[in-house]
Structure 1
Amino acid sequence: MKNIFQVAVTKEIIERIDNLTPATIQLWGKMNVAQMLAHCNVSYELVYDDIHPKPGTVMKFILKKLVKNKVVNEKPYPKNNQTAPAFIIKDERAFEKEKGRLIAYIEQSQQLGESHFDGKESHSFGILTKTEWNNMFYKHLDHHLNQFGV
């Protein structure tokens, strides 16, 4: 899997995002392009912004046992995969705002580097390695950029 913490990979992802327009149509799924960008921002909000409630002890245990491996492994997500409630975006979003936020989050993560994330606790899955953080970030972005044909 590509390493999102490498400058070249970050640049490639941002170029793909820059190929999106407000009129870009999804190849599958229900979200429009602005909603997809907002959806991708949630991954970073969970890291940088304290706006989502943390799962309780029991829910965190369940997430670690049943969901974590699917999120942090290298196997691509299937189309129309089920998502967590915090990631469901139903309201309309401003394309340029969500795009700018996502690019800023991606650049911030790349600048902090993989060593910053190695051993960092995630919102839902406990302590993750730098490889698990990379897989989670890159795989999610790649999945949704593919969803919109970029």
Structure 2
Amino acid sequence: MQNVFDAKDAQNYIDRINNLTSETQRKWGKMSVDQMLSHCNVSYELVYEPEKHKKPGGIAKFILKKFVKPKVISDKSYPKNSPTGPQFVIKECKNFDEEKKRLIGFIQKTQQLGFEAFEGKESASFGILKSHEWNNMFAKHLNHHLEQFGV
């Protein structure tokens, strides 16, 4: 798995994103390319703009930690057409260029903050995570959706 905290790996993701156009077609799933970029931005919004999203309540957080967290932070890739959380569902069309710029900015910010900034950082959904768990979560989500759009 690539390391989102490594400058070369982060640039690899950015290069792949820059290969997308507003006309790029998906290989599977339902999202358009602009929706996919917005969807990927949610992972970072939960870290950098948490006020945009409702925090899960006690029961929901228990379920997320017990059943979803192991799948999200593992090294195993997501299967095609995996279910997604409600806050990650993007139904409306988005501005491709704006979403692309935001995602690249989030990737750059994460890489610049580095491994140490994420060690022991709390996730609103999953509780305290180690840096490698944050990396797995970010990296495999990005890779899954960039592969979905053939880049």
> Normalization by structure 1: what TM-score?
0.99
Residue by residue over 1:34-68, the C-alpha shift from the partner in whole angstroms, topping out at 9 and shown as x without a partner, is 00000000000000102101001111111000000
Given residue 108 of structure 2, which amino acid in structure 1 is its aligned partner? Answer: E
In the alignment, what sits opposite 2:70? 69
Alpha-carbon distance, 1:146 to partner:
0.1
In the alignment, what sits opposite 1:133? 134
User: Does residue 60 of the first structure (1) align with residue 61 of the second (2)?
Assistant: yes
Counterpart secondary structure, 1:149: coil
Counterpart secondary structure, 2:36: helix
Aligned length: 150
Alpha-carbon distance, 1:123 to partner:
1.6
In the alignment, what sits opposite 1:39? 39
Counterpart secondary structure, 2:12: helix
Given residue 21 of structure 2, which amino acid in structure 1 is its aligned partner? Answer: T
In the alignment, what sits opposite 1:27? 27
In structure 1, distance between residues paired with 2:2 and 2:91: 30
In the alignment, what sits opposite 2:5? 5
In structure 1, distance between residues paired with 2:95 and 2:114: 29
In structure 1, distance between residues paired with 2:23 and 2:136: 29
Residue by residue over 1:14-49, the C-alpha shift from the partner in whole angstroms, topping out at 9 and shown as x without a partner, is 000000000000000000000000000000000010
Given residue 108 of structure 1, which amino acid in structure 2 is its aligned partner? Answer: K
Given residue 35 of structure 2, which amino acid in structure 1 is its aligned partner? Answer: Q
In structure 2, distance between residues paired with 1:109 and 1:42: 14
Q: What is the identity percentage for the equivalent residue pairs of Structure 1 and Structure 2?
A: 59
Counterpart secondary structure, 1:127: strand
Alpha-carbon distance, 1:108 to partner:
0.4
Q: Which runs of 5+ in 2 are unaligned?
A: none
Counterpart secondary structure, 1:113: helix
Counterpart secondary structure, 2:52: coil
In the alignment, what sits opposite 1:84? 85
Given residue 13 of structure 1, which amino acid in structure 2 is its aligned partner? Answer: Y
Given residue 96 of structure 2, which amino acid in structure 1 is its aligned partner? Answer: F
Residue by residue over 1:70-103, the C-alpha shift from the partner in whole angstroms, topping out at 9 and shown as x without a partner, is 0000000000000000000010000000000000
In structure 1, distance between residues paired with 2:2 and 2:132: 10
